[in-house]
Structure 1
Amino acid sequence: MMAQSGGLKPSVMLCDVTAPVADEASALMEICVAEAEKRNGRNTVNMQETFTVYLVETRPMDAVAEGRNPAPDSLWRRYSEFELLRNYLLVTYPYIVVPPLPEKRVRCYYYKQKNIHFVLVEKWRFSLKINVIISTGLWLIENLFYLCFWQEHGWKEVVYETGFQAKADSRLRALSATFRVRNPDKRFMEMKHYSDELQSHTSQLLRARVRVADRLYGVYKVHGNYGRVFSEWSAVEKEMGDGLQSAGHHMDAFAASIDDILEEEEHYADQLKEYLFYAEALRAVCRKHELTQFELEMASQDLVSKKQQHEEIATGIVRTFSFKGMTNKLFGQEAPEQREARLKLLEELIAEGEETVKEKTVECEEHVDRAWVDMQRFKEQKDKDLREALINYAVMQISMCKKGTQMWSNAKDCFLKM
């Protein structure tokens, strides 16, 4: 069960999943994954399985800012539960660039040196971007977001009761369909192109980083060989033995530091990798706009067609070729009763079409306005995150080079004393 803390706790309402849950001043919270744990259980088909659960801790940010350190509220969540929350947010808020989840299975250089649970926790600690969802404003209006992190049981049932899965299936089919918008929004076209470029450049940077890290690992292991050779050499030298052995110790310590360096590099690589996945989330928002615009254009085209049919029947003047027009010419005009019935039906369809066009227009305009605001927020956050990550990466490289220089300076002093 969830451990209760003495800190502020937002109120949650199971009956209304869209009502505001708390005001901004009191509901800001810090969310992190504290640890991971392997468990055994049975899945939906009653088969034994092993899975990982993550201990999620929440703490009020105002308490942290004031220097207080209250015990955090905590509960365990599976990866699939994070996926459920994100899928719900994707369907419910298609205009939001919903943060991607970190990778479910991680690969890094230091698996042999680190416990797998530690690696998973570190990955999630640095990669879980639920706090970014808070910055979008969803935390103010979305009760299910709070239920996921504050209520141990029952929150998934509330999610399923919203019927979002049917919308998700429909959305997936629509977004995977092939269509072409006649009047695309230039801003969204540019943003879609930008997301492609962001993904491409980030992929290239990550591939280059892997090659550099691989060579760096080899260089450090060479220094480990230096240390072994100097230590063995010192055993057969009387005058130079102490100097060689000391130099070997410096080399060994330098070579052993590669694990911590690669661990730190993985942290910065994760920050870059997040934006590799963010590019897909950004494209999804642009794609949703295209779909909304396409539906509006199809509804408008259908309305124009029905109005034209109504005019042709009412006036008897056929301006476009149609099978019905050819039939009337060959076999004569339809009876007045049939004509009136068709006119009445078209009038009803035109009224429905006008309402549909009106709804689609509002939906499209709202999506454009909200999506554009959130995409600008995303770009500002992206610039801040990437600038910070790249600066820290450069600082780490400078520090690493200084350590290498210092190690060789120490080795030089050892050689001078021989």
Structure 2
Amino acid sequence: MRVASSADSSSNNSRSQMIMADSGSSDEVAVICNTDITSKESENNLINTMVERGTALLKKMEISVAEADKRTGKNTVNMQETYTVYLIETRPAESVSEEGTPAAPDTLWRRYSEFELLRTYLLVAYPYIIVPPLPEKRAEFVWHKLSADNLDPDFVERRRVGLENFLLRLASHPVLSNDNIFFLFLTEEKGWREAVLETGFQDKADSRLKSLSAMFRVKNPDKRFTALKQYSEDLSTVISQLLRIRARVADRLYGVYKVHANYGRVFSEWSAIEKEMGDGLQSAGHHMDTYAASIDDILEEEEHYADQLKEYLFYTEAVRSVCRKHELIQYELEMAAQDLSYKKQQKEELETGTVRIFSLKGMTSKLFGQETQEQRESKVAALEQSIQEGEEALKEKNAESQEFVEKAWNDIERFKEQKEKDLREALISYAIMQISMCKKGIQVWSNAKECFNKM
């Protein structure tokens, strides 16, 4: 496990600025379900500058996940467990001390489960936003020589980088960066969990469970969201296939490189029985040993490129989540319209005394006679009130749907630009790494050729 040091923290802060560029800002930011922290504002004026409306937090604050630490304690069922915590460091941007050096950062520790709670809250509070995904909790799509243990130091280090990237994604988002719960996550170690639970987001999440069946009942789905959902599923399939292929190629490369160690051993043994050829064989064997040993660092570097692809594999689920939430809003809109139509039909039947379709009410009228004028007038009055309420409800659902579509599509367009840029750069970097790896292989055999020429 990594050991904390001031130099290490400093290097991570500079690295955090390179990982994520600011995605821009807008003049007006729509924020819903924000938790009021006015009691804190009088104690800490940073809130006014860090969460200024219309700005991205990353412009105001430097954020990094500086290190990870393994700890042991008891869980909620009083059983001993080993877990990992991550040190979050924050400091106001461009802050310096009297000596002219960067001011010491504020620090706090968070568990992975707290990152999960933050993201779950954001998914509920901002249903129209493609919320950035967390890095994987357990390693997937790995080549078999790499440990899949979630406490393995190499895996924990990659997850640390992923969690830092997650925070930087949020801090650069024009809407999410303004959320007070997110700000408290970065700055308040104690009381944050209670603050997020007090928002009541869990009740709101539970009330939307019917979205699972809404997709099967929507009669007039939005073609744009239907196409986007299909695209996200196709993209998920493609990236999964890429990651599986990469894992197989990594296995094969590992074997090829390690076999070169046999060249080194044989050349070394051969050099022991030769006089004139001995030095050349020994040098060639040394080049082969170096080549064989280099594969571990190469594949570790390659794993970071794979993690960038994995981020967008998980992003596809975030895209589908927005599509499902739109399906639920559309379903509720259609139900409100259907209910209003039924009430208007009931009113018409009462006023005209005719029943257009077979119903229990019609059968009852035939068996027991028609209702009196006073009864009909009373029911008509009640229906008129109900119709008026239904029209208001339909109007609200229409407004909610239009607002959701507008906000969601703005965020989708922003996401598309981000996705194309990130994936293009990741694939180019991966290709450059492969070219470099091949050049190193050519260089090793060129060096071996020179050794053989000198024999």
**Is the TM-score greater than 0.5?**
yes
**Larger mean Cα displacement after TM superposition, 131-140 or 308-317:** 131-140
Indicate the residue corresponding to 2:52 in structure 1: 22
Indicate the residue corresponding to 1:141 in structure 2: 178
State which of 75, 81, 92 in structure 2 corresponds to 1:49: 81
Alignment check: 8 A CA contact 2:67 2:87 kept: yes
Deviation at 1:193, TM superposition (A): 1.2
| 2:153 is aligned with 1:117 | yes
Is the alpha carbon distance of 1:415 and 1:59 closer, same or farther for their aligned partners in structure 2, counting shifts above 3 Å? farther
| 2:202 is aligned with 1:165 | yes
Is the alpha carbon distance of 1:361 and 1:57 closer, same or farther for their aligned partners in structure 2, counting shifts above 3 Å? same
Alignment check: 8 A CA contact 2:130 2:319 kept: yes
Gaps of 5+ in 1: 6-11
Indicate the residue corresponding to 2:13 in structure 1: none
Indicate the residue corresponding to 2:407 in structure 1: 370
Letter aligned with residue 264 of structure 1? E
Q: CA RMSD in A?
A: 2.6
Aligned pairs for 1:48-127 within 5 A: 48-62=80-94, 69-106=102-139, 108=142, 109-111=145-147, 116-126=152-162
**Larger mean Cα displacement after TM superposition, 134-143 or 192-201:** 134-143
Is the alpha carbon distance of 1:152 and 1:131 closer, same or farther for their aligned partners in structure 2, counting shifts above 3 Å? same
Is the alpha carbon distance of 1:338 and 1:288 closer, same or farther for their aligned partners in structure 2, counting shifts above 3 Å? same
TM-score (norm 2): 0.83
Deviation at 1:190, TM superposition (A): 1.2
Separation in 2, partners of 1:339, 1:126:
67
Gaps of 5+ in 2: 1-5, 11-34, 41-46
Indicate the residue corresponding to 1:8 in structure 2: none
Deviation at 1:13, TM superposition (A): 5.9
Deviation at 1:37, TM superposition (A): 1.1
Separation in 2, partners of 1:125, 1:63:
24
State which of 292, 295, 313 in structure 1 corresponds to 2:332: 295
Counterpart of 2:273 in 1: which secondary structure? Answer: coil
Is the alpha carbon distance of 1:328 and 1:25 closer, same or farther for their aligned partners in structure 2, counting shifts above 3 Å? closer
Indicate the residue corresponding to 2:27 in structure 1: none
Counterpart of 1:129 in 2: which secondary structure? Answer: helix
Alignment check: 8 A CA contact 2:86 2:109 kept: yes
Alignment check: 8 A CA contact 1:314 1:343 kept: yes
Letter aligned with residue 378 of structure 1? F
Alignment check: 8 A CA contact 1:35 1:118 kept: no
Counterpart of 1:172 in 2: which secondary structure? Answer: coil
Indicate the residue corresponding to 2:72 in structure 1: 40
User: Percent identical across equivalent pairs?
Assistant: 65
**Larger mean Cα displacement after TM superposition, 22-31 or 378-387:** 22-31
Alignment check: 8 A CA contact 1:36 1:117 kept: no
Letter aligned with residue 95 of structure 1? Y
State which of 305, 308, 315 in structure 1 corresponds to 2:342: 305
Separation in 2, partners of 1:219, 1:28:
49
State which of 242, 248, 257 in structure 1 corresponds to 2:294: 257
Letter aligned with residue 247 of structure 1? A
Is the alpha carbon distance of 1:201 and 1:210 closer, same or farther for their aligned partners in structure 2, counting shifts above 3 Å? same
State the Cα deviation string for residues 124-148 of structure 1 (Å, max 9, x = none): 3145322222333234531000000
Indicate the residue corresponding to 2:433 in structure 1: 396
State which of 302, 312, 319 in structure 2 corresponds to 1:282: 319
Letter aligned with residue 292 of structure 2? A
**Larger mean Cα displacement after TM superposition, 306-315 or 26-35:** 26-35
Separation in 2, partners of 1:337, 1:161:
51
Alignment check: 8 A CA contact 1:14 1:158 kept: no
Alignment check: 8 A CA contact 2:70 2:82 kept: yes
Separation in 2, partners of 1:211, 1:182:
44
Letter aligned with residue 172 of structure 1? L
Alignment check: 8 A CA contact 1:36 1:118 kept: no
Deviation at 1:267, TM superposition (A): 0.3
* Aligned residue-pair number: 405
Letter aligned with residue 121 of structure 1? E
Letter aligned with residue 265 of structure 1? E
State the Cα deviation string for residues 156-188 of structure 1 (Å, max 9, x = none): 111111111111122234335553322211111
Separation in 2, partners of 1:336, 1:281:
57
Indicate the residue corresponding to 2:255 in structure 1: 218
State the Cα deviation string for residues 221-247 of structure 1 (Å, max 9, x = none): 111111111111111222211111110
Is the alpha carbon distance of 1:357 and 1:227 closer, same or farther for their aligned partners in structure 2, counting shifts above 3 Å? same
| 2:452 is aligned with 1:415 | yes
Indicate the residue corresponding to 1:327 in structure 2: 364
Separation in 1, partners of 2:425, 2:327:
33
Alignment check: 8 A CA contact 2:215 2:328 kept: no
Counterpart of 1:183 in 2: which secondary structure? Answer: coil
Alignment check: 8 A CA contact 2:86 2:110 kept: yes
Deviation at 1:313, TM superposition (A): 0.4
